[in-house]
Amino acid sequence: MSPICQSLIDCVDAALGANDTEALTARLRNGLCQLMRDQRLQLPAAIRAPLGDRYARRELHRSTRHAYSIVAMTWGPGQGTGIHDHAGLWCVEGVWQGQLQITRYALRAHDAAGWRFDAETAFIAGTGSAGSLIPPHEHHAIRNPSSSAVAISLHVYAEPITCCGVYEPQAGAPGYYQRRERQLSLDPID
């Protein structure tokens, strides 16, 4: 383990001493921001390479002691996600390089007709910033708004995330979405 990655692991381990999820994610957001802003957190060069057809998900660390997972995501110009959830897991997301457009959605209805969301907030998160998602307030979309620059984000999940819910517009029912479970894979760090 490189000392650079160890500082990130130490940051996450220290945050886990909090009494509840709100306090834990607040500690982790603050610690992650500090590491990124001080430029103490350097990532392997291989993390910086985007994939041509989709964003990359590369696991940096999986804690066997505490069960959490740290994933770096590399977003090529214009790459992003649709509305999705984190399958009930808390997550802290930080922007290590570039900018990301984050749109948070409020769940308004979930019934036989489907899922209905309202866009709650949309903002541009820049380098050194971090936010958290705590279920049930976990529905969001992420996109690299740049037409030329690569963006890189760090995601700390309560445990390794292997699937998530993606929400696709439901044909014939404007404003409603159908939830589909998506299996997530990891890309190699070359």
- The ranges assigned to domains in the chain are 55-183
Task: Find, among 144, 152, 184, the residue nearest to 46 by Cα.
Answer: 152
CATH superfamily of domain region 55-183: Jelly Rolls (2.60.120.10)
| Distance between first and last Cα of the chain | 16
List the alpha helices (DSSP H) in 38-167: none
Give 4's pLDDT tier (boundaries 50, 70, 90). low
Can you give the pLDDT at residue 6?
A: 86
Give 18's pLDDT tier (boundaries 50, 70, 90). confident
Q: What is the mean pLDDT of the chain?
A: 92
Flag whether pLDDT at 97 surpasses 80: yes
Q: Tens of pLDDT along 139-163?
A: 999 999 999 999 999 999 999 999 9
Tell me the two tokens of residue 93: 């997301």
**pTM for this one?**
0.93
| Strands lying side by side in the sheet with 69-75 | 56-62, 69-75, 151-157, 91-97, 130-133
Q: Which residues pair with 116 in a beta bridge?
A: 109, 176
